[in-house]
Amino acid sequence: MKNNFSTSKVLENNKNLQAVGKSIIFHPLNIVFLTSGKSRGSNFESIVKYIYKNKLPISMKFLIVTRPDAPIIQRAENNNVKWILLSDKNNFEQDLLGLLSQYNVHLVVLAGFMRKLSPNFLNKFKGKIINIHPALLPKYGGKGMYGMRVHQAVFENNEKFSGVTVHFVNEEYDAGEIIFQEKIPIDHLKSAEEIAHEVLKIEHEIYPKVIEKLAYQFFSDLID
């Protein structure tokens, strides 16, 4: 497991959060979700439900979709999260940057977003975009390594462990700084499908908690 959070610092400063309660209420961590294609949105929904359940000081501004028939839209509507369609590939990044500025977004959460963002876009939002990958990076990452392709490769190589990695996004696929990893044993599993099922459960557990920790780190930095 890899954990780059200053956990002790966060816990120490959490004791002081009540003192800045009004600031948190009026200045929550503003996040948006970014997806593409026909994303199902299970990770998105797990994050939304976790934020609601734990009443976190996080404002979910909107979900970006690139297709009007993406199944994730129904999950957004069921959970009262605004969704915005950006279907013009040529102006996608320009339009998105305008929205990020308009809504004062602090963090972009990728949830089934399969496109590669340009260096220009990443430079303007450096260190503020995160993604989750269904393997223990740097293994089984890179271009073309997503979904069942990852789990099939893990299974065919007889790996004893797999897991998930949450990382910042940079110019290369799955190569950004690792924020957190969770490892699980898979040597008892009989297929790539079984691995996918177990890893997805960990994704649903870990991704929301990482966002929560990033939120409290954000407020800890404000206190400092």
Respond yes or no: is residue 133 known to be catalytic: yes
Cα separation, 17 vs 223, whole angstroms: 8
Catalytic residue among 106, 133, 151, 167: 133
CA 19/CA 15 separation, integer angstroms: 8
Tokens of 196: 């996918």
Tokens 């390594």 correspond to 145
- Write the DSSP string, 128-166: -EEEEESS-TTTT-STT--THHHHHHHHHTT-SEEEEEE
Q: Which residues contact 215 (CB under 8 A, 6 or more apart)?
A: 29, 56, 57, 58
Any idea which residues carry the catalytic annotation? 133
